[in-house]
Structures are given as C-alpha cells and as structure tokens.
Amino acid sequence: MNETVFSQLMDIRDSGRVNMFDVPGVQRMAFEMGFYELVCFIEEDRAAYVRFI
C-alpha cells in the first residue's frame, strides 16, 4: 500500500459515511471521490485491504 492509497483510505474513514468493512461501498465512495488508485488497489489486492482494516 503506497502513501496515496493510505491517504485516500484515511479520508474515506474519517468521513464516517461508509462502514469500512463494506468493501463494495468503500470502492463506490472512492470512485465518487475520484480516488481511482484506491479503487484499483481494492480490486487488485482485496486481502491486503481487509488486513489493513
């Protein structure tokens, strides 16, 4: 996980608008916010995302 993805994850988490265990919801919100790096990260390595959460 690079710094950009980490920062994007923290922005979504801090917004409080989605449960971080709702992976499709997090991806949808990331897409809506223009966080395409995060969308790709979750798609390519969902296990790493879940371990981080």
Q: Where are the domains of the chain?
A: 3-52
Q: What is the pLDDT of residue 34?
A: 98
Q: Are 8 and 37 a contacting pair, CB within 8 Å?
A: yes
Q: What is the pLDDT of residue 30?
A: 98
**What is the tens place of the pLDDT at every residue in 5-50?**
999 999 999 999 999 999 999 999 999 999 999 999 999 999 999 9
Q: State yes or no: pLDDT of 1 exceeds 90.
A: no
Angle between helices 36-44 and 3-15 (to 10 degrees): 100
Query: What's the pLDDT at 20?
Result: 96
Give the closest residue to 25 by CA, choosing from 13, 47, 37, 44: 13
pLDDT at 13: 97
